[in-house]
Structure 1
């Protein structure tokens, strides 16, 4: 136990006892022999415990004396004043002894020393220049004393230790310890007292205080105090000032200060240049940072690895990978080996650009240098592969990490979870969640939000709710992302009552603190026609003091527009302004669309003029609504002109706009113009949608030549264009009507081959039309085909066939169908 008390290790050595006996730090009234009767030493009680302890320490040495029963009995009765006397006496005769006794009493007996004893020990340590121990000692003392203790400690130092040796150093170290403990006001108090006593603080203390104040203007007060007192500055002083100015975004002042200290004995350091370069790089000015790098060389300063890494990082963020690699080569030419940080920076640069091949080349270069990837390297690579959609590669890297003994962070797992959920692999993501927990990692609200959102996207609301409850049990408060995903999913699935119960539970737990969740619930009510509940929820918002947004009002306006309640919709539009908000293009477009459905072109034009007066730019959706209105009035040429006006104004046209006008030309039987607009779409780099082709095929089937419809569909199939089931059913229906069963059958088979789900309704539509044309054999063929594909007929389709057989007088087929129906459990509803 005494090995840590190096100053007293000599006490156990026989040759040191004579040296100790020469230290007469008290004058005993009796000889030491009178104190000892026999071995082991038994001490007779004395009235003065201070005298007894000092005598015992002198006679027996520290180890033997403190191990005795007498000391253990006596020490429990010692008070602070007596301990102060012992430590003070030891300070004079044996300073090392004073420190060890102080530590022994504190560590072994949990004795709470007085401030006096603490300062005695501080002066001993200062006298022996044990500055690291002194700093640690004072920091521990201030940890107990706490903030605001400077006045009382200064008073004790001033009154009790003024003439002591090393008192100036203790004052300085006290100020330094306060600064290191981030007790700035106490530091300033101590320095003010030192100034009154004409004691000078060291540059170490001033630098520490400067560092604490570098984000404030008080930094300059301290710097001026350094200059006034004539305290010798260090390069660190200048570096702190520059760091502070950069941190306050005062880059010009930082550069001016750099120029100011140029040419002085303590000119700018590499650290100062690194600070300025780093700040410029963070702001995206890598070229400016490069100029400071050159200036550093002009000053005769040698850039270090950190200098290069700063610049390489800035160039990578700016996407200048070639320059970044050039600086890496330059680094090597100047005898600096790129470290793992350098390679990680380069890897991240390629990752940000989505160039994972480049990232792997950097990794290979790193491996050739004998450097192994660390946790940061793996995290960057996992993020990169997940970013490019290659989650499988990310999972392989995770496995490699685990095999090499690396523990993935919560962030790395979250990246993998997000990528898996985006690719629809939510079950695999949940497995990773349980792996996280098995590895001792606690998922946070971000992790749960990713999974809940993923489950909701797949329509698995119940599983999302289960995960949500699990999160709440772990006392992880849900955020608006996770709560919003569940609420939105419930509303989209039409589970409005369940959505409201869930929403109310969020309110009860005080987890609805913004408008987002209210907006989702209001929109859910509006989408399902319950405008009254949406309005009640809006009233609740106003009562709770949450500020509604334009989105809130847009949903309510949309609800009243659906009901054709235009006065109420306009009233809510006016209410927007009462809340200090302005209607948006979406607000106006919503109202315009309702007026369009109502055929009220006059009100639409009024709203457009109002938008123009308020400088609200119409969107392509606004123009689409107007095109739809013009088409309804059969003003097709005006609609086309508006379409071209949109192009001239640089608005991004979408397929919906074109589909709207193409459908109108089809209804007007102007097929040629419809196809011309399709070609125009392609010229504008707009790929027609399946809806576009459905409109054209339907138009050809109804108004044009069925052969042209066949050719169009076959041509689209040859071009691998994705078509919907509607395209096939439309053309099948047309061929059935025309009586061309052979082609109807061919397209039906083609529809089955494309993997579309064929329902009873699809078969029924064909069979019903064939029976109407008395094509019974062909209808029966489709019926057999339906049975072959495992689709169970219903009563309706069977009775259609029964009627057809009956009308043709085929009684045998009637009896066979009846027998089959009874056997299949489809009892005829009528005979």
Structure 2
């Protein structure tokens, strides 16, 4: 054959008689159907000198004569390639392995890379053995890795059978077995890897620590991790630091911290090497659980054994301290890093900045960022997001917007999360128009708003009362195929209810039900609350029956809403009976449930009913709030039981519930009604002592108390004193003083306070003038009555019939005919009487 080859002008153009054009076999890209025994025979026979009359022989002859690359480029090989099957390629590679191992490897790769030929398992194992003998382990690993990936899960038994039957005596067999187990482990085919290891154990083959470690890593979440570790110890394979760190990590992942610590102590005792990774893992786990002090003790142990912490070690503790709110100590650790030559990285600075941000200490966050800049680190997207979130968190939205501008100027593009934070903060500040502008800015930068973004804006518009604009935005959202969630629907529903559009809200809700968009109790609760607020308890009850019929489980909020509705409509019996229904649904009445009922009993003056509910709360371990105590105090005050209400005030403080202004105002009012203004002012002083700012209601009650039960001059002095302190007084304070001075007959002082009221910007109404004029008429203070009447007319307020009748009666009793005549003229002018 070689004689004929030399006669051709282009020796690579083989004659047609040597091109045995067999049909393209389907086995080119499938697994071989031959048995392992048959394959062994074929491999054995292919070791002999090939028959030069067949395709295998021709290819081998061509390869020997012209070299691999020239032969592969020739027309002959391109044609004959279509006829090649796995058995022929296996024979060629096996012959080349003996004659020239490098040649065998090159032939294998060229056939695969240039012609996309999928080699058989046998060829892959042959080449893997060649590479192992040549100590080209990385290439060998790649060949086996590709085979394992293609063969897939469950292929280990057949591959092991092939290795046992065809490669048992080959020199690098142990290495190939080990690499096969390693390959399965790398692809997380754990059962296959364990099968290979079991076979290796039967054959007394050595498993490398790398393979053991890889499999150990895959098993770290399961109890079988310990079995694998026992196998490693039994095999006598020396363990390394990576082995220990995997075990520690696995135990921590399984929440077996005590076992992890014991294992570390055992490793420490055997002096087999301690790993910084193991210490970092344990410290991280303790910090995650909130035991930062324990993590710090391991940090000290690490130093004791001469293991120097790295930046990751420090970052773990710094993060733990920041989460615990110990920012000073976190900064100390950062300083220690620099002191001991460990350079803080950008992660360190981000952790510290985030820590300050979570505590709302943005000045501290800024200092960290400035330090970071001085160290040459540039703020990245995460850093800016932390700062924006921090400023928005403390309500400093303008600083957040400035940071946004800085980010854009630095070439950073804000994420959807950053925009959502800004949008939320703007909406909370009622700056919805600015939030909408940011929405369109997002779109100009190619960012697609998501459900959360739209929901924030819709909720903001609804809270502002602009429900129609919210609905328009909702429609825009749906047109973009961004599907709203229950929060979006809830915002619109709540907005319509708060706006008073109950009918429209009901239609919207019915539409949601018709489209199967209501599968959550929250939307039912909103609609029921809307009905209750507008006095329609019957519809709320019907809606409750409707949701129960649909199989939707009511929540405690559902029942609290119904109880509030019944109490509001003076149906206390129905409200009380709901307590039993709550328990039938497997729910527990909340403090709101009890407090709502107690308030209803309080309004009825049923102190016994209130106390029964309080005892039930205590029996059910439902802790009362300061509102619960305030209602109890209100009930006692209604019955004039002042001493008991003051005692209850002290009890509140004893159980750690500080009273608020409403609590104090309730008792102060009770004191004033009892004529005990001295005690009322003692309670006022107690408020100041506890840094509780009295409200305008507090001062209105005190002024009223002094006017009725005390000295009017004290009331005058109190009001003037409050004016000097520039406290925000209400109109009630002034009208109280005006009425009191009128009642006492001191019209001059009444005029002074009336004028003060007007000067303070409070508009005097017909009701205010009527109250004063009626009192003056009763005391027959004619001139003073005329003065206030003229003042009323000069303020542009028309008199009513009641004022005119009172004045006519007073003038008649005094026999003042001229005044009667003048008044009748005014009445005719204002249409109160005809000519």
**TM-score with structure 2 setting the length:** 0.81
Cα distance, 1:181 vs. partner? 1.6
Match of 1:593 among 599, 604, 623: 599
Could you say what secondary structure the match of 1:262 adopts? helix
Three-state SS of the structure 2 residue aligned to 1:663 is helix
In the alignment, which residue of structure 2 is the partner of 1:12? none
* Pairwise CA distance, 1:573: 0.9
1:705-732 Cα distance to aligned partner (Å, 9 max, x none):
7765555444334323334455556667
Structure-2 change in CA distance of 1:569 and 1:388 (3 Å): closer
Q: Select which of 277, 297, 304 maps to 1:298.
A: 304
Residue in 2 aligned with 1:458?
Answer: 464
1:747 and 2:756 correspond = yes
Alignment of 1:427-826 (within 5 A): 427-472=433-478, 478-504=484-510, 507=513, 512=518, 514-667=520-673, 671-697=677-703, 711-724=717-730, 726-727=732-733, 742-743=751-752, 746-752=755-761, 763-765=765-767, 773-774=785-786, 775-783=788-796, 809=822
Q: Secondary structure at the match of 2:631?
A: helix
Q: Bigger CA drift: 179-188 or 660-669? A: 660-669
Matched, 1:206 2:212: yes
Question: What is the total number of aligned residue pairs between the two structures?
Answer: 776
State whether residues 248 and 263 of structure 2, in contact with CA within 8 Å, keep that contact through their aligned partners in structure 1. yes
Q: Which residue pairs with 2:186 in the alignment?
A: 180
Partner of 1:129: 135
Aligned pair partner of 2:5 in 32, 47, 68: 32
Aligned-partner SS, 2:795: helix
Residue 37 of structure 2 corresponds to none
Moved more, 227-236 or 532-541: 532-541
Aligned counterparts of 1:533 and 1:137: Cα–Cα separation in 2: 73
Find the aligned partners of 1:436 and 1:557 in 2 and give their Cα distance.
Answer: 45
How far residue 224 of structure 1 moved from its aligned partner, in angstroms, is 0.4
Residue 40 of structure 2 aligns with which residue? Answer: none
Q: Which runs of 5+ in 2 are unaligned?
A: 22-54, 775-784, 809-817
Q: How much does 1:539 deviate? A: 3.0
Distance 1:467 1:139 in 2: 54
Cα distance in 1, alignment partners of residues 331 and 654 from structure 2: 45
Superposition pairs for residues 184-263 of structure 1, below 5 Å?
A: 184-263=190-269
Using the TM superposition, give the Cα deviation of residue 501 of structure 1 relative to its aligned residue in structure 2, in angstroms: 4.2
Q: Which deviates more from structure 2 when the two are superposed, residues 304-313 or residues 470-479?
A: 470-479
Question: Hey, what does 1:374 align to over in structure 2?
Answer: 380
- The structural deviation recorded for 1:672 is 4.8
Cα deviation for residue 98 of structure 1 reads 4.9
Q: Is the 8 A contact 1:732 1:748 kept in 2?
A: no
**Matched-pair contact (CA < 8 Å) for 1:736–1:766:** no
Rate the CA distance shift 1:163–1:502 in 2: closer, same or farther, 3 A: farther
Per-residue Cα deviation, 1:83-108 (whole angstroms, up to 9, x for no partner): 55555555554555555555555555
CA contact (8 A) 2:734 2:753 kept: no
State the superposition RMSD in angstroms. Answer: 4.1
Deviations 1:187-207 (A, max 9, x none): 212222222333222111110
The one-character-per-residue Cα deviations of 1:359-388 (angstroms, maximum 9, x if unpaired) are 333333333333333333333333333333
Distance 2:121 2:254 in 1: 39
In structure 2, C-alpha distance between the alignment counterparts of 1:656 and 1:433, rounded to whole Å: 42
Work out which of the residue numbers 323, 336, 341 in structure 2 matches 1:317. Answer: 323
Contact 1:280 1:288 in 2 (8 A): yes
CA distance in 1 between counterparts of 2:484 and 2:794 reads 58
Instruction: Answer yes or no: is the 8 Å Cα contact 1:560–1:568 preserved in 2.
Output: yes
1:226: Cα distance to partner?
A: 0.6
Instruction: State the Cα deviation string for residues 278-300 of structure 1 (Å, max 9, x = none).
Output: 22233333333233222223223
Return the alpha-carbon distance in structure 2 between the equivalents of residues 559 and 671 of structure 1.
38
Structure 1 residues 770 and 315, CA gap change in structure 2 (3 angstroms):
closer
Tell me how far apart the structure 2 counterparts of residues 411 and 198 of structure 1 sit (CA, whole Å).
58
Counterpart-to-counterpart distance in 2, 1:45 and 1:537: 91
Give the unaligned 5+ runs of structure 1. 1-27, 787-792, 819-827
Match of 1:272 in 2: 278
